[in-house]
Structure 1
């Protein structure tokens, strides 16, 4: 995937996220808008220990993003939450989403024992299970989890 560049994202702006904002809203997803709103309000800036937001760029255009936060719902330490994951429609089924999840998993191994997420679509459920996530029964407000590091 040499034509794609994975980067730690810095300052977020509506201009940077514009294409993803428009497309995701048309699909009925609000999490790119929520990412920007939470970032500007200071509610979630991905700046706590272990947290990060990554972007995937193709020809200098942002085509995907996803991040990890300390899980605010967990009763355990060492739990990261995969958040604000979105891949532009025209780049889906090309391995970019899978590569981005693995990129986030590799980052998370340095900071967390478990990675959790919450999704409400069957497509995403199949996607995450194919990567190795298990359907959740242990963590609050979570549909899937993955142990990324041995305890």
Structure 2
């Protein structure tokens, strides 16, 4: 199966119901927060340098989502935060997450000098390290950093 990464300008135009349901079942609320923050305008990934992306299957199903924001934890506007990154279980370990991550990194390296993320999942830790992030928990809100320059 082939997958395509698309930039998301209007989250309401996407059907991400499966992402929300599955992430909730796994105990993750960040996809639900993505929807509510987009609806109330708290985070629409529309500040300078920010972007939201999704991965769509050939059949048009949204199978992954993730975006990049200015880090709310940094004083430096050149530091980004990977946010709301989720991949449906049925397509994990098929390169979908890597495809999405690479698109986000390719975009972000022209906008920011580094990306931070926080995870408490061993699987996510392994994924981020495989994508070039370094483990760095020197700040309480960060576990991994990818530096561009």
Q: TM-score normalised to the size of structure 1?
A: 0.92
SS in structure 2 opposite 1:13? helix
Q: Structure 2: which 5+ runs fail to align?
A: none
Pairwise CA distance, 1:7: 0.5
Pairwise CA distance, 1:126: 1.0
Structure 1 pair 15/79, CA: closer, same or farther in 2 (3 Å)? closer
SS in structure 2 opposite 1:16? coil
Q: TM-score normalised to the size of structure 2?
A: 0.93
Matches of 1:34 and 1:75, distance apart in 2 = 24
**Consecutive aligned runs of 4 or more in structure 1 exceeding 6 Å deviation:** none
How many residue pairs get matched?
148
Matches of 2:130 and 2:55, distance apart in 1 = 21
What is residue 34 of structure 2 aligned with on the other side? Answer: 35
What is residue 99 of structure 1 aligned with on the other side? Answer: 99
Q: Structure 1: which 5+ runs fail to align?
A: none
Pairwise CA distance, 1:139: 4.8
Q: Which piece of structure 1 moves more, 67-76 or 128-137?
A: 128-137
- What whole-Å deviation, never above 9, does each CA across 1:58-101 have from its counterpart, x for those lacking one? 01110000100000101223111100000000000001101111
